[in-house]
Amino acid sequence: MKLRTAPLLATLTFLPSARAEVAPDITVVEEGYNYIAKLPCLGCPFLFQDTSAALNEPWRTRKDDNALLLNISLPYTCAFLALNTAPLSSGTSIPPLIHAPQVVQDFSSAELLATLATGQLEASHETALLGGGASFGLSYRYSLHSLRTTSNLQALVFHFDVAAVYSDLATPPTHHALTSPAQKMLEIVLLERPVHSATDPSPAYSIVKIALVSRTPSISSRRTIDFLAWDAHGRIGTPSHLLSYLLSAFAAFLTSGFWALFGFVMAVIVVFIVVVLLCVFGWEFWRDDYEKAQKGKHTRKSSAKGRADVESGTGRAKARFKSAEELGLGLASRGQVVGMGKSD
């Protein structure tokens, strides 16, 4: 959702005293739909880069009261919250990775206005903000549950709690767990908007309350996201993460240019040729001894099938006995043999 800074700009323009005022914990950008929360980061080291000499100085840390800026937006046509442009409770299985800019605790309203006007809340987490601050990756917990209301409209309560912050800009990387008992969390109350026409989105909500509150005990419906255990492909180390990574790398390879597509086509052709050759020449090689013995036995039976066996009456000679004429013995065979003797 695009920020609308016109109301805030008009306020700061006509109130010169606001230039020196410390920015409040909650700043209204658009009533009901867009807010900036300044969440204190108790015990967090302040990560900064000295850019006064226009040099690319290394990132360093110092002790300073600091806070994290959270840009909360509720798109008019969507039923989910966006935190620093990352959609939460949008129904996706892969949770978003959230980066939050770090500022000093006495960050002024004028500096906040300049940050909004220059779009630094949506800038890369590797660039320095006004005052030299950096952005941290957040390990967070969040929950969403419904509230009872006296009307037919649904109300939801959203809790967002930062558990730890991480940055690899400095050497060694900076990691800090927010374990202070005084650490606050963000609470947002959403109320369903009534539908006035057929073109109105349903269900749609607006923000009726937003505040920094004390942490509540852990509840079963709360989801915890470890910044170092997830990336854009899912939880690191799982089969689904590996599959998603390989598919993304393969898609990036195919879209990298003509030679990538040419190499893919050639690889498919080579694989096809190898499979065909294996089918043609490798069939005899992969036959086992039993199959070879059965084939030899079948061949011997086929060669002996045509032989005549008069006594057994099998083979091609399985028929009547042939007569003497048929055997070519002629008329002599018609005589009768009465006896056999020897004469002197």
Mean pLDDT of 122-149: 75
> What are the φ/ψ torsions at residue 49 (nearest 5 degrees)?
-135, 125
Provide the pLDDT for residue 24. 93
Reduce the secondary structure of the chain to three states and give it as a string: CCCCCHHHHHHHHHCHHHHCCECCCEEEEECCCEEEEEEECCCCCEEECCCCCCCCCCCEEECCCEEEEEEEECCCCCCCEEECCEEECCCCCCCCCCEEEEEECCCEHHHHHHHHHCCHHHCCCCCCCCCCECEEEEEEEEEEEEECCCCCCCEEEEEEEEEEEEECCCCCCEEEECCCCCCEEEEEEEEECCCCCCCCCCCCEEEEEEEEEECCCCCCCCEEECHHHEECCEECCCHHHHHHHHHHHHHHHHCCCHHHHHHHHHHHHHHHHHHHHHHHHCCCCCCCHHHHHHHHHHHHHHHHCCCCECCCCEHHHCCCCCCHHHHCCCHHHHCCCCCCCCCC
Q: Provide the number of structural domains found in the chain.
A: 1
pLDDT exceeding 90 applies to what percent of the chain?
27
Rounded to an integer, what distance in angstroms lies between the CA atom of residue 6 and that of residue 8? 5
- The token pair at 296 is 């030899």
CB 47 within 8 A of CB 59: yes
pLDDT in tens, 144-184: 888 877 777 888 999 999 999 999 888 889 999 999 999 99
Sequence-separated (6 or more) residues with CB below 8 Å from residue 231: 97, 241
pLDDT value at position 313?
A: 53
Stretch among 16-20, 32-36, 189-193, 221-225 having the lowest mean pLDDT = 16-20
Average pLDDT over residues 59-79: 86
Q: What is the mean pLDDT of residues 213-230?
A: 83
Contact 26, 82 (CB under 8 A): no
Name the residue with higher pLDDT: 172 or 202. Answer: 172
Domain presence at residue 165: yes
Q: Is the dihedral of CA 281, 286, 288, 291 positive or negative?
A: negative
- As given in the structure block, the two tokens for residue 149 are 């209301």
Please report whether residue 164 resides in a domain.
Answer: yes
**What is the average pLDDT across 75-96?**
80
Whole-model pTM: value is 0.66
Greater model confidence, 286 or 271 = 271
30 vs 90: which has the higher pLDDT: 30
Does some domain include residue 159?
A: yes
Average pLDDT over residues 203-207: 84
| Contact assessment for residue 185 and residue 159, using Cβ atoms and an 8 Å cutoff | yes
Q: What integer is the mean pLDDT of 228-250?
A: 82
In this structure, the chain runs to a length of 344
Q: How far apart, in whole angstroms, are the C-alpha atoms of residue 157 and residue 9?
A: 30
In a domain, 249, yes or no: no
* pLDDT of residue 64 exceeding 50: yes
User: What gap in Å lies between CA 217 and CA 181, rounded to an integer?
Assistant: 12
- The answer to whether residue 116 is domain-embedded is yes
Structural domain of 59: 6-225
pLDDT score recorded for residue 71: 93
How far apart CA 141 and CA 160 sit, in angstroms, is 6
Residue 139 contacts by C-beta under 8 Å, 6 or more apart in sequence?
162, 163, 164, 165, 166, 224, 225, 226, 227, 228
Within a domain: 232: no
Let me know if residue 195 belongs to a domain.
yes
Instruction: Answer yes or no: is pLDDT of 308 > 60.
Output: no
Nearest to 245 by CA among 236, 254, 256, 255: 236
Return mean pLDDT, the chain.
77
Residue 341, pLDDT above cutoff 90: no
Which of 222, 238, 137 shows the shortest CA–CA distance to 185?
Answer: 222
What residues form DSSP beta bridges with 62?
46
Nearest to 161 by CA among 236, 88, 74: 88
**225: which strand partners?**
140
Instruction: Give the closest residue to 137 by CA, choosing from 61, 74, 215, 84.
Output: 84
Question: Model confidence at 9, in pLDDT bands (50, 70, 90)?
Answer: very low
Nearest to 215 by CA among 166, 172, 289, 160: 160
Domain assignment present for 239: no
